């Protein structure tokens, strides 16, 4: 269930209009601030304290910003790999639907990490 929820969230974010989040990232960088992720926490670094209004906008758009910072290059490819792995585990591996989805999510995450570390 958790695996399916994660995939549905990613798909929803990919289909959503991220114009506001992209504009916010551009504003942050234009103001000379550095934005990155520490796990799933957003880190903004600067030689000065960011404006409270800017921080409030970042908090409000956290899911979209995290999604953009993770930079999944081809969501359709990842969803296809996830679906294929889950089906193989469930039907060929005779795992429960829940376990097959969890295994597929772990596989895709490990593959994504490996690709990200090698780039």
Q: How does pLDDT run across 26-84, given as a tens digit for each residue?
A: 899 899 999 888 877 899 999 988 999 999 999 998 888 887 887 655 666 777 888 89
Q: Is the pTM higher than 0.85?
A: no
| pLDDT exceeds cutoff 60 at 111 | yes
Please give the pLDDT value at position 113: 76
pLDDT at residue 106 in the model: 87
The neighbouring-strand residues paired with 41 are 38
Write down the domain spans for the chain: 2-70, 75-118
Tokens found for residue 17: 């209009």
List beta partners, residue 43: 36
């Amino acid at each position: 269930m958790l695996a399916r929820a994660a995939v549905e969230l990613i798909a929803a974010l990919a289909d959503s209009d991220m114009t506001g989040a992209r504009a916010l990232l551009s504003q942050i960088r234009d103001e000379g601030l550095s934005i990155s992720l520490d796990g799933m926490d957003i880190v903004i670094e600067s030689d000065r304290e960011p404006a409270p209004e800017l921080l409030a906008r970042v908090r409000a758009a956290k899911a979209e910003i995290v999604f953009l910072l993770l930079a999944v290059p081809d969501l359709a490819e990842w969803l296809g790999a996830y679906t294929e792995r889950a089906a193989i585990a469930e039907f060929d591996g005779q795992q429960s639907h829940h376990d097959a989805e969890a295994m597929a999510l772990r596989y895709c995450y490990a593959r994504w990490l490996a690709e990200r570390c090698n780039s």
